[in-house]
């Protein structure tokens, strides 16, 4: 299975996701993350990578490029296909990272943890498998930044910090 990434116009990405999902052999998704809103003390879903649409398919690079070309007007809102060295498919490591972070609905759920001698210990959630990559934690805003780059930026994930071990 290959995974391609398309950079899209913000107001058209949801329609594009729906359009791609009507095509045979295509699974399109927009990765979301749970984000804590401090002012209202609620958790909302926000795009993990704003304006990026992910496409899972068995098509190879040439087949996918041809497929995109043949979509013509249906792909209105796609700005560009992300490519590196003429390949837009994510690497096996990048796909593995997405599988670690996202659940079956492609949502990065909030993790739970606590601080122990300047180290963050994750007791629950997707960051548990990646706790050694936590670079910094903002306890007030409920997020952690990982020292892992994905789509040319560090990954930011929700975390609820407890005062002590749970």
Domain boundaries, the chain: 2-101, 110-162
Cα–Cα separations (whole angstroms), residue 164 to 46, 139, 146, 158: 28, 13, 21, 18
Confidence of residue 163 (pLDDT cuts 50, 70, 90): confident
pLDDT in tens, 13-28: 999 999 999 999 999 9
pLDDT in tens, 40-76: 889 999 999 999 999 999 999 999 999 999 998 899 9
How does the average pLDDT of the chain come out, rounded?
92
d(C-alpha 68, C-alpha 162), whole Å = 47
Q: Kindly state the percentage of the chain with pLDDT values over 90.
A: 75
d(C-alpha 131, C-alpha 33), whole Å = 17
d(C-alpha 94, C-alpha 19), whole Å = 25
CA angle (3, 26, 65) in 5-degree steps = 65
Q: Domain 2-101 in CATH: superfamily?
A: NusG, N-terminal domain (3.30.70.940)
pTM of the model: 0.90
Does 100 have pLDDT greater than 70?
Answer: yes
Confidence of residue 165 (pLDDT cuts 50, 70, 90): low
pLDDT on residue 134: 95
Confidence of residue 38 (pLDDT cuts 50, 70, 90): confident
pLDDT on residue 20: 97
pLDDT on residue 86: 65
């Amino acid at each position: 299975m290959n995974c391609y990434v398309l950079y899209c116009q913000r107001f058209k990405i949801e329609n594009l996701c729906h359009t791609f999902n009507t095509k045979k052999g295509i699974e399109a998704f927009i990765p979301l993350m749970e984000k804590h809103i401090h002012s209202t003390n609620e958790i909302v879903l926000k795009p993990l990578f704003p304006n990026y649409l992910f496409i899972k398919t068995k098509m190879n690079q040439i087949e996918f490029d041809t497929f995109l070309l043949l979509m013509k007007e249906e792909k209105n809102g796609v700005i560009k296909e992300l490519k590196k060295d003429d390949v837009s498919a994510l690497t096996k490591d990048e796909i593995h990272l997405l599988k670690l972070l996202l659940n079956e609905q492609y949502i990065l759920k909030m993790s739970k943890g606590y601080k122990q001698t300047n180290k963050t210990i994750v007791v629950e959630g997707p960051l548990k498998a990646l706790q050694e990559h936590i670079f910094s934690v903002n306890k007030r805003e409920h997020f952690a930044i990982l020292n892992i780059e994905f789509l040319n930026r560090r990954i930011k994930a929700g975390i609820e910090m407890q005062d002590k071990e749970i």
